Each structure stands twice: as structure tokens, then as C-alpha cells.
Amino acid sequence: DVKVTQSSRYLVKRTGEKVFLECVQDMDHENMFWYRQDPGLGLRLIYFSYDVKMKEKGDIPEGYSVSREKKERFSLILESASTNQTSMYLCASSWVIGPGRETQYFGPGTRLLVL
Amino acid sequence: DAKTTQPTSMDCAEGRAANLPCNHSTISGNEYVYWYRQIHSQGPQYIIHGLKNNETNEMASLIITEDRKSSTLILPHATLRDTAVYYCIVRLRMKTSYDKVIFGPGTSLSVIP
């Protein structure tokens, strides 16, 4: 079974703190993603990476950065946390089987509260 | 940006089949239809996907109409653990090499004892 793990299930941080969220997948997937999920807004893509050291902005990259130094690990960084970054953060990984065929596998999520 | 429409919510009696519809009238070419579900406070879970033919796995069946403009996810014997939000997804073509997956609001399925 594919396994995607996230470093924390729950996290409480203060405004202005630097926050690291880590994600690890064990299936040698090329693609990795970070989403945030908020009530009424669904899942929104923050960043994704299709290879080591490669990254592309998603829909809402402002206030976030990412790092992918190893294929299995994708980190999301909040340089200076703000209260509007309180959210559920979901990591996913996938590989592309063929055109239009890609199954994403999600981690359990990290619920971040910024005070 | 949403390319799929689903009912906001549905109820299903425990032990009965749950039929979740999805319209994707703008689907084209080789776009696959994917279904995921999200149980409260967990990450989304892959269920099934298909292109033209009906598909079945250990979790569910997927029925795709001949014109491919709609599909139905069938949970043959719903249990209380199937209570979740179900997402029907097609991919949004991008100019970059990556085709973005769009999660719409989904259908909130409540399985009732």
C-alpha cells in the first residue's frame, strides 16, 4: 500500500513564527503536492513538485515556500506564520501512469492553528 | 474552474446501495473520471477511476454513460463507515506539463442506521 505520512497531525504556532510541515512518501512517486483545505473553499493547491529540486506554484503560493531535496520528501514552509494560514494542510503524491491517468494519494493532514 | 457538478448532500440507509451522480459535460479526449472520498478529519482517499467502460473494485463500481457526460459511483452495501464527502474529479488542462486536478465541493453522503 502507498503510504504518505505527515510530520504532525496537530500544530499550534504563534504569529510570525517559521513553520515547517514535512511530508514523506514511500512509493518512489515523482509528483508531490501541498494543499490547504478550508470550510467552503475545498482543496486548494499551494505548490507541487514533479521532480527533486523542481517546484511549481499552485493557486495560492503567497506566504509559502517549499523544498524538495530528496524524492521521497516534500516540505512546506511558512516563513512568517499569520492567522489566515490557520487551516488543514494536506500532502499528496502521485505518479503519472499515462495521459490523463494519475492517482493522487493523500496523507492524513496537519491541522495548523496560528495564534 | 469546476468541471464537475454533484449534489451537495445525500442520505442512504445502511445496507442499501448508495448511488452518487456526477455531471462532467465538458469532459473531453482522454480525460479520466476519478472518484475520491474524504472521511471527516482525514485526507482524501482514492476510490476508483475510469475512461469509458464501467469499472469495479473492492470498494465501489463506476458507471460512465456512453456519451461520457456523466457518471455514477455505486457503493453496493453502504455502511456507517462510508459516511464521507465524495469527490468526482476530472482534470483541468493546463499550459504547463502538469494537468491540475480540481476538487469541487463534492457530495456529503450520510449513511443512516
Q: Are B49 and B57 in contact (CB under 8 A)?
A: no
Averaged pLDDT score across all residues of chain A: 92
pLDDT reading at B14 higher than 50: yes
More confident residue, A85 or A56: A85
Cα–Cα separations (whole angstroms), residue A5 to A42, A72, A95: 21, 10, 17
Average pLDDT over residues A67-92: 96
| Nearest CA among B82, B107, B84, B81 for reference residue B9 | B107
Residue B77 distance to chain A (closest CA, Å): 24
| Nearest CA among A26, A30, A24, A23 for reference residue A76 | A23
**Lowest-confidence pick of A97-106, B25-34, B94-103:** B94-103
Q: Is A43 on the interface with B (CB under 8 A)?
A: yes
Averaged pLDDT score across all residues of chain B: 88
Categorize the per-residue pLDDT at B3 as very low, low, confident or very high, splitting at 50, 70 and 90: confident
Q: Residue B68, by phi and psi: left (phi above 0), alpha (psi -120 to 50) or beta?
A: left
The pLDDT tens digits of the residues spanning A88-101 come to 999 999 877 766 67
Q: State how beta strands B9-13 and B107-112 pair.
A: parallel
The angle subtended at Cα A21 by Cα A100 and Cα A114, nearest 5°, is: 115
Probe site for chain A from B24, B103, B108 (most A CB atoms < 10 A):
B103
pLDDT at B2: 47
pLDDT reading at A64 higher than 70: yes
The angle subtended at Cα B107 by Cα B41 and Cα A42, nearest 5°, is: 55
Please return the burial class of B88, using the count of CB atoms within 10 Å of its CB with bins 0-12, 13-18 and 19+.
Answer: buried
Average pLDDT over residues A48-54: 90
pLDDT reading at B1 higher than 50: no
Q: Give chain B positions within 8 Å (CB) of A58.
A: 100
Distance in angstroms (rounded) separating the CA atoms of residues B106 and A6? 24
CB proximity list for B69: less than 8 A, separation 6 or greater: B23, B24, B25, B27
Cα–Cα separations (whole angstroms), residue B60 to A13, A49, A78: 40, 31, 38
The pLDDT tens digits of the residues spanning B22-75 come to 999 888 767 888 999 999 889 999 999 998 889 999 999 999 999 999 999 999
More confident residue, B103 or B39: B39
